[in-house]
Amino acid sequence: MEGLNEAQCQTFAALCEAFFPALSDAETEQVVAEFSTDVERAKAIAAFCKHTPTAAGIAASFNNYVKAGLVTPELLQEVKLGLTALNTAFGTFLLCGHRAPFHALRGSEKTAAMIGLSASFLPPKRKLFNSFKVLTALLFLGSVPKGLHTNPAWAAVGYPSPRVFLEGAARRALSRGDTAKDPFASQWLRVTGEMELEVDVVVVGSGVGGAIMAAELARSGHKVLVLEKGRYMKQEELSLVEAQSALDMYERGGLLQSEDGSISMFAGSTFGGGATVNWMCSLQTPHHVRKEWAEEHGLSHLMSPAFQKSLDFVCSRMGVHTDKIPHNAANETLRRGCMRLGYPVEECPQAGKPQEADGSDAGYCCFGWKYGESQGMQGTFLADAARAGARFIDQCDVQYVRQHKGCATGVVAIVAGKHRLKVKSQIVVSSCGSVNTPALLKRSRLQNANIGRYLRLHPVTTAYGIFPEDVAVYEGPPMTMVSKAVQNQDGKGYGALIEVPSAHLAFLSMIKPLRGAAEARRDLLEAKRTVPLIVLTRDRGAGTVHVDKAGRARIDYDLHQDDSKHMLQGMEAAIKILIAAGATKVGTSQAGMEEYHPTSQGIADASFWGAGGWLEKMHRYGTLKYGCPLFSAHQMGTCRMGKSATSSATNGEGEAWELRNLFVADASLFPTPSGTNPMVTCAALSHGIAQHVKARLSSRARL
């Protein structure tokens, strides 16, 4: 696809600059006076106040996404149309009320125009605002401008340079003698031309489900081949920078979203899948969810000791523990607020222990940094599979499943974008995740109407508090505490969890509404004192995954009214927790909400809870589409298990109803959302399915 032209680049940069225009000398002096603590910090803040998205080459960064094929043709066309309109006085007048091309507006006018878009009653205008807010945060704050060694915002904020962290980590590893042998070194298959292979089992995807399937089957003596769409990256190859990590390790470079752009999704697309970039929180399937799946979906085996044994086994192998978990300041804040309110709060079991005693190295886990006794799938099940003889191919995009007389017989793939690969196998396992597994099955011409339906996302919104002291949420393990105060709002296990996310500068910028040019700089300079809380909602509503003419996955999802209600109750609880913990001001991501400054009365103040108070305004604003940004890190349910082909895509053993020997092993199997981080549930389901596949292969061998 062709990227933005010169005129479009000019307008693109101008739109991004509306969020962070250069401040005047007087504004800069005032901001420096508010936030500087020494001469060096004052210099850094002054430089940051003058640094802009245009100077950072933000339009060129967006074109890099286009060249990498990470922007859908429809989204690119939508962006181009908007830019072309705003490059004219007439188009800018229609959208923003100014009688000049957008790039010709003064800095304050650009910012005011964008604030106007965010507050518009027209959804397309709010959508335009949201799109550029996300892009600006990611490309301006989460990247290193060309020609520089660091981002000017980092020194101003006091954000630790990933480069410095990596150099220190390398020195510490050397002093400890960490020289473990790479188990994959001899197990890669290099494809340099058209190739045909024959194996017992081909596993599509190397995430949690695929890794466990590969390990279990390879250890049983079967010839296993794992195909991964993403790229294998060693620890020393990681950048730990937000934008580059998104490009390297996330589906569509971190820009995956629903068709209408109302919810953003983060999904791993790298060797090891989502487990390579997840936040290490590892919760077993709640009892009420297992009961629901057994009683309402005919999956009685999920209430059995065998399934519990699978849960315990995968947790043991992944190093899941609650022993001496280091809690960072943000998680301690969550605990403190809950305890003062009498809300339930508990530790989240973690997969693996940080190498550093204080857990300071764990803050980069969302960028692939894994450590200690567990390193995601690469340090556990994928390593087990490699040692048992499994082979691997990365950058391998599987096109479809081969079939013969109602049986799966292999796959056809494209490697490195150019080499055709044909694999013949007795068993095919799809572990592509809840977005790409249904897409693969649809490209393979499976007709079951349930494929792609029942997509659950655990939609998330945020609340935040600013504290007098530094908390540095990006340092130390995220999500080590959870409050279930509003988990069960309907008596059936649907509600929300309140947790601390992994949050670096781009994310922290995304969650705060735009209130003005100087305010945007101040908001970022408060990052080190900001505690964000996520409200993770177990959704009753469901979306769908379908494929376009090119076979690419497309997602439709609308927030259900029940889920909106539960989310707002979660937001209220999160705000109360932050106030009780001592926040000096609190806010939400809702574009129409001002921040609230708690008084000495805390949540008992009528200005907070009373008629016409802040809380009432928050509920009244609600989850307005494009006005209350939503995201998801959990995709589930698009090939769900069940008791019949009329209500599910796969049977209780994970096998596709209409194609024998095609098994699914990922979170798309979930009949309904797990209500917790889905990794352990996905792992246990896959472990159980692997036993069925072993039995199938053994029976074939006896014939």
SS3 585: strand
- Residues 474, 477: Cα–Cα separation, whole Å: 8
Distance CA 639, CA 636 (A): 9
Q: What distance in Å separates the CA atoms of residue 228 and residue 272, rounded to the nearest whole number? A: 9
Taking the C-alpha atoms of 615, 617, 621 and 623 in order, what is their torsion angle to the nearest 10 degrees? Answer: 0
Provide the 3-class DSSP secondary structure of residue 579.
helix
DSSP conformational letter for 140: I
265 phi/psi in degrees, rounded to 5? -130, 135
Buried b / exposed e over 361-371, threshold 16 CB at 10 Å, is bbbbbbbbbbb
Sole residue written with tokens 């089992």: 201
CA–CA separation, 252 and 262 (whole Å): 16
Catalytic one among 51, 103, 327, 634?
Answer: 634
What letter represents residue 637's amino acid?
A: G
In sign, the C-alpha dihedral spanning 378, 381, 382, 387 is positive
CB atoms within 10 A of CB 322: 12
Q: Is the Cα dihedral 349, 355, 357, 362 positive or negative?
A: negative
What tokens does 684 get?
A: 């246990």
Question: Rg of the chain's alpha carbons, rounded to an integer?
Answer: 25
Q: Helix (H, G, I), strand (E, B), or coil: what is residue 66? A: helix
> Residue 394, SS3?
coil
What does the DSSP assignment read for 159-194? PPPHHHHHHHHHHHHHHHT-----TTTTTBPP--S-
d(CA 61, CA 140): 9
Task: Encode 352-368 in three state secondary structure.
Answer: CCCCCCCCHHHHHHHHC
E strand or H helix at 28: helix 25-35
| C-alpha closest to that of 243 among 375, 136, 393 | 136
Please give the Cα distance from 423 to 402 (Å, whole number): 9
Q: Match 């960028």 to its residue by tokens.
A: 367
The maximal CA–CA distance of the chain, rounded, in angstroms, is: 84
| d(C-alpha 370, C-alpha 31), whole Å | 37
Closest CA relative to residue 429, chosen from 661, 143, 96, 155: 661
| Structure tokens, 276 | 């390579």
Annotated catalytic residue 634: yes
Q: At what angle do helices 561-581 and 329-341 cross, to 10 degrees?
A: 100
Give the DSSP per-residue string, 40-94.
HHHHHHHHHHH--TTTTTHHHHHHHHHHTT-S-HHHHHHHHHHHHHHTSHHHHHH
Chain centre to alpha carbon of residue 69:
19
Structure tokens at 214: 């590969």
Reported as type and span, the H/E element at residue 11 is helix 6-17
Beta bridge partners of 346: 482
Active site residues: 634
